[in-house]
């Protein structure tokens, strides 16, 4: 079962290595991982997409992550209403005669051609993973030369609170 974990961590050397090491030691596969600066200086946000067999495995890894000194917060956002996106760059074989056809094919996906050469074009697309998979399948007959994907990045919509969060009382 695919799970999406959102982590906030201190932006320090070795944090990514320690976190991925936890998954490796327990033989959990990380399907994708994205890391970037957050709204707070010195703090990064990580989004991990992992495959686990049972719910208790997610609880186990969450507890282990929370024990890490550089980890500030871990949230399993899989069942929440979330905003999630992925970026893909796809280099597709193309001649001048097929470029207009490719443009028409990618337009419904809100994708764009960001580079053109004699023999290929580079298509940029953002969205949910399933949308990107569909576009890749449609582009395969033209001949895909390269694909680079970021993996999923996500966070909860609006002002949701998870069941585990406890409101701070004002003293």
Q: Residue 45's domain is classified under what CATH number?
A: 3.30.70.260
Q: What is the mean pLDDT of residues 131-143?
A: 97
Domain coverage including residue 128: 83-154
Residues 150, 96 share a domain: yes
* In a domain? residue 160: no
Least confident interval from 46-50, 69-73, 154-158: 154-158
pTM above 0.85, yes or no: no
User: Looking at the predicted structure, is the pLDDT value of residue 11 above 70?
Assistant: yes
**Displacement of CA 29 from its chain's centroid (Å):** 14
Look at phi and psi of residue 33 and say left if phi exceeds 0, alpha if psi is from -120 to 50, else beta. beta
Is the same domain home to 74 and 100?
Answer: no
For residues 110 and 127, state if they share a domain: yes
Give pLDDT tens digits for 13-22. Answer: 999 999 999 9
C-alpha dihedral, 18 to 23 to 29 to 35, nearest 10°: -40
**Single residue among 79, 99, 131 that ends a domain in this structure:** 79
- Select from 63, 79, 95 the last residue of a domain: 79
Which residue shows structure tokens 């320690």?
A: 18
Choose the final residue of a domain: 47, 79, 111: 79
């Amino acid at each position: 079962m695919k799970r999406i974990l959102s982590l906030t961590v201190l932006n320090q050397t070795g944090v990514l290595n320690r976190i991925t090491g936890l998954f490796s030691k327990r033989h959990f596969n990380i399907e994708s991982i994205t890391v970037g600066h957050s709204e707070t200086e010195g703090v990064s946000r990580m989004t991990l997409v992992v495959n686990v067999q049972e719910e208790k495995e997610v609880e186990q890894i969450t507890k282990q992550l929370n024990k890490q000194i550089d980890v500030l917060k871990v949230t399993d956002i899989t069942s929440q209403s979330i905003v999630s996106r992925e970026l893909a760059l796809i280099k597709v074989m193309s001649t001048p005669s097929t470029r207009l056809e490719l443009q028409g094919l990618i337009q419904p996906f809100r994708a764009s051609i960001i580079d053109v050469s004699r023999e290929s074009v580079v298509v940029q697309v953002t969205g949910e993973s399933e949308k990107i998979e569909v576009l890749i399948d449609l582009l395969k007959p033209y001949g895909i030369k390269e694909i680079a994907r970021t993996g999923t990045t996500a966070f909860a919509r609006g002002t949701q609170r998870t069941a585990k969060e406890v409101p701070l009382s004002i003293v």
